[in-house]
Structure 1
Amino acid sequence: MKDWPGPVSTCWNHWIAVPTGDQAGVMEVLSLSSPTPITFAEAQEVIDADAHGNPDDRHHLSRVFVTPEVDSWTLVIGAWCNPCDSERHEDVLRLCKALSARYGGAQAYYYGEQGDGSAWLVAEHGSVVRRYAATGELDDELLTLGDPLPQEQARRLELGLPADGDPQAASSEQIEEWTWAAFHLAPEIAAAYGVSPFTLTREAKVRGTGVLALTPDAASHGI
């Protein structure tokens, strides 16, 4: 099956990025099963359909696209990877720690392309470096772990805010500006730390075949 890399995105994007070409190993850590070969173009259609489906039927949590090795990275794309979802965030945290213990690093992201916010989770060598959510939800603050990443610090300094994220000396206007900036920060952080699904091109070095795989959620809900 001949395939060319291309951007994979929808209105609501969720993915895990791992610095390895060990697709089978990543799937093993995540307990993914029943892999079916799929192209990037086909995966784009599937992920888009799942994102716009009924969130109550849990079908959107039943499958993910696992890329082939792309520039020495493997991406797992689908709502099941959401690092800020109320039902998924602790499991995604655990899985990223496990992946990072095995491969040195792992990240999980959420990005809403219609101004629906961002979230990022960065783990290294089995520990969480940073988790942050800017989605407008009341529970966003409860997800915060670790110190601000360099990209966060730079944007905060641009706005005249303390780089460490302490809002005590900030005005309400500055906090509002930061909130809006953070809403759009996930793609920038993803690109800085590795490979982003939004910037995949034919020029990327690819090895292997992408697959559509079932998540543990599929089996537990009879999907």
Structure 2
Amino acid sequence: MDVAELLGQIAVDGDYNPFSLRNLGPEGISMVRGALSSPSLREAALAVLATLREPFDFALVPQEKPLPMDACEFWYAVPTGDQEAVLDVFGLSSPVPVTMRMGRLAWRYGGHRWWLDHGRCSVIYVSSVLDGWTLVFGEPSEDFHTRGTLADGVEDPYGVKQMRANEAATRIVRRDRCAALSRRFGAAHLYLRSHGDSTTSRLIAEDGAAVRWYDVEVPEEQIGPPHPGEAGFRLPHEENPWPDGSFDDIIQAHVGKELALRFRDRYRRLRAEYNVPENCNAYDVAAQLSVRPGDIGPSTVVKGHGVLARTGCPG
């Protein structure tokens, strides 16, 4: 993909293939900078520069336009418009003003640059104020690099026990982080929704304590009763009431898109027949209690600009 095609795709679709940035050398970056003079391509060019952590003139950043932020898997939400306080409590520095499109692309791709040792943990996107909430995409260095400990002498030839210990330690760190945020801002939420599998969790903290925490991976550890934000749904780990094998005929007879469509239709029919509510994931809770990134649009009240900010990791 050449630079003109890349920028045109971003300008139209708000998306691009991150592999196209892997080998964008000085000549390509110079062409991106040249596009800053084009009003129709300026924001796209700025998004690429922000993703690659290349400097640019902040005065060129256009006025914020609320856009859906799809494919978000992990974020904090705090009910505040005090961006400096958010940067301070997360230990962030060197904020660079960005639009939502710039921040989304820079975080989604620049924050996951596989060719750097700290590609996933060196930058955080802090949103503008959205309906009174500030969203934070990413984690401070010390949180991201949390590691669990195994007892002396424990054999773990495949690293599975260490992975589980890391996950358990990370859950504690994230709960502590959310509780600390709520002490400062009165409340704080943490949402996780994987696009690769059914993993989902949410944490709601108020006045320094977790009032509700649920993780589908460890439902036995949940904190607090079901929250009003979960009303009308059921928890994802709860067993389905219909018989085992209710989808076997579909799985055996179909593949690909046809399988997915028939599976969805059968699932909907069984839910209606057995009067079963839909599962509740982090997106559903966020839509009820704060801001769901994918719902951001013209009706969202936006104040200020978001920023890309540095964590303590190099990159």
TM-score, scaled to structure 2:
0.55
Amino acid at match of 1:64: I
Check 1:61–1:143 CA distance in 2 against 1; reply closer, same or farther (3 A cut). farther
Report what 2:224 is aligned to.
Answer: 146
Match of 1:37 among 89, 92, 97: 97
Match of 1:204 among 284, 300, 310: 300
Residues 84-143 of structure 1 show CA distances to partners (whole Å, capped at 9, x for unaligned) of: x82643332222111111211100111123444211011001110111112xx5xx3465
Residue 56 (structure 1) shift:
9.1
Q: Distance between the aligned counterparts of 1:111 and 1:126, measured in 2? A: 24
Q: Distance between the aligned counterparts of 2:305 and 2:177, measured in 1? A: 23
Residue 49 (structure 1) shift:
1.2
Report what 2:283 is aligned to.
Answer: 187
User: For residues 78-117 of structure 1, what are the structure 2 equivalents within 5 Å?
Assistant: 78=138, 86=167, 88-117=170-199
Aligned to 1:187, what secondary structure does the other structure show? helix
- For the 8 Å contact 1:9–1:48, the answer to whether it is kept is no
Aligned to 2:120, what secondary structure does the other structure show? helix
Report what 1:49 is aligned to.
Answer: 109
Identity, % of aligned positions? 31
Match of 1:73 among 116, 120, 133: 133
Q: Distance between the aligned counterparts of 2:306 and 2:286, measured in 1? A: 20
Residue 206 (structure 1) shift:
1.7
Amino acid at match of 2:171: H
Check 1:208–1:153 CA distance in 2 against 1; reply closer, same or farther (3 A cut). closer
Q: Distance between the aligned counterparts of 2:139 and 2:177, measured in 1? A: 14
Report what 1:21 is aligned to.
Answer: 81
Q: Distance between the aligned counterparts of 1:33 and 1:61, measured in 2? A: 13
Residues 54-91 of structure 1 show CA distances to partners (whole Å, capped at 9, x for unaligned) of: 49934212211101111111110136688xx8264333
Q: Distance between the aligned counterparts of 1:30 and 1:49, measured in 2? A: 21
* 1:124 maps to 2:184: no
- For the 8 Å contact 2:124–2:309, the answer to whether it is kept is yes
Higher-Rg member (1/2): 2
Match of 1:5 among 62, 66, 76: 66
Structure 2: gaps spanning 5 or more residues: 1-60, 145-165, 245-266, 268-276
Report what 1:162 is aligned to.
Answer: none
TM-score, scaled to structure 1:
0.75
- For the 8 Å contact 2:68–2:294, the answer to whether it is kept is yes
Check 1:79–1:110 CA distance in 2 against 1; reply closer, same or farther (3 A cut). farther
Residues 144-186 of structure 1 show CA distances to partners (whole Å, capped at 9, x for unaligned) of: 22222234453239x9xxxxx9x7xxxx544999xx954x511
* 1:156 maps to 2:234: yes
- The structure richer in strand per residue is 1
Amino acid at match of 1:155: F
Residues 174-220 of structure 1 show CA distances to partners (whole Å, capped at 9, x for unaligned) of: 4999xx954x511110011111211111332222111001223x1xx
User: What is the total number of aligned residue pairs between the two structures?
Assistant: 199
Structure 1: gaps spanning 5 or more residues: 160-164
Aligned to 1:60, what secondary structure does the other structure show? coil
Check 1:14–1:79 CA distance in 2 against 1; reply closer, same or farther (3 A cut). farther
Amino acid at match of 2:65: W
Check 1:8–1:88 CA distance in 2 against 1; reply closer, same or farther (3 A cut). farther
- When structure 1 is superposed on structure 2, of 25-34 and 91-100 the one drifting more is 91-100
Aligned to 1:108, what secondary structure does the other structure show? strand
